[in-house]
A and B are shown apart, each in its own frame.
Chain A
Amino acid sequence: MTHAPDPRDELITHVPAMRAFAISLARDTTLADDLVQDALVRAWAGIDGFRPGTNMRAWLFTILRNGFYSLRRKRRREVGDPDGIHAAGLAEAPGHDGRLAYADFERAFHALSDEHREVLVLIGAEGFSCEEAAQMMGVAVGTVKSRASRARARLAELMGLGKGESALIDSEPGTRAAIAAAAARAG
């Protein structure tokens, strides 16, 4: 046992992903960094709860999201937006080229409920399986699937996309401006 590598040496490699997940949940970098710090301290102290050979990132994300929801309960305020109050007036039609800018997408994403942002990051962005996400979120696999489906639908709705319009954002910020500038020069 004494010669086994310390899994805690690996913690730092997960910090960038933990921060991205925390920012997605908290929508605030200061709070996000506090969540990451708290999760790292807990992970360090509770490393015996990590089973070597299993997915450390999933384990860390579980600690982090539990910290987030615990804080939310403590604050006794609903950070989420199940009724779409924050989202009112957010939906704007995409630009004339039919493509969304990063800012449009981020704004719509931030208007989702905490649970919807969480499931989309875990499944859509991080690429965890529904089974892994179910374990991390402490819900049934079917719940993860239906929640992810509703979250995507809500996001599309918030982006104000009509049927047949591309939901894909510009590959690089500034592309649209560059295209507009080029068009102006050509015209």
Chain B
Amino acid sequence: MHSYAGMDRERKSPVDDRRTGRSDPHPRPRDEIDENLKRVYSRLVEEEVPDRFRKLLEELRRKESGR
């Protein structure tokens, strides 16, 4: 898995802040919904950058330096 400068600074894994051992036997639905969102969303985020976008950015850079 590639790691880019700035990524670690900005993105703690959303799953890491899961509250374990909380004493409240009735967690608020709001917290649970946000927790679900983080779990589902983090599965989308952790994918590699597709070649399509690497190439696009390389192409944009190349065109510009060619000017």
A42 to B32, CA, bound (A): 36
Q: A residues 112-164 with Cβ under 8 Å of B?
A: 120-121, 123-127, 152, 155-156, 161, 164
What residues make up the interface of A, taking CB atoms closer than 8 Å to B? 8, 10-13, 15-17, 19-20, 23-24, 33, 36-37, 40-41, 44, 57, 100, 102, 105-106, 109, 120-121, 123-127, 152, 155-156, 161, 164, 166-169, 171
* Size category, B interface: 35 or more
Instruction: Establish whether residues A57 and B10, one from each chain, have CB atoms under 8 Å apart when the complex forms.
Output: yes
Residues of B within 8 A of A168 (CB): 27, 32, 35-36
User: Does B52 make an interface contact (CB < 8 A)?
Assistant: yes
User: Does B24 make an interface contact (CB < 8 A)?
Assistant: no
What does DSSP make chain A's interface, helix, strand, loop or mixed? Answer: helix
Task: State how many angstroms separate the Cβ of A178 from the closest Cβ of chain B.
Answer: 17
Identify B52's interface contact among A37, A44, A156, CB under 8 A. Answer: A37
Instruction: Establish whether residues B40 and A105, one from each chain, have CB atoms under 8 Å apart when the complex forms.
Output: yes
A11 to B5, CA, bound (A): 11
A10 to B53, CA, bound (A): 13
Instruction: Establish whether residues B37 and A12, one from each chain, have CB atoms under 8 Å apart when the complex forms.
Output: no
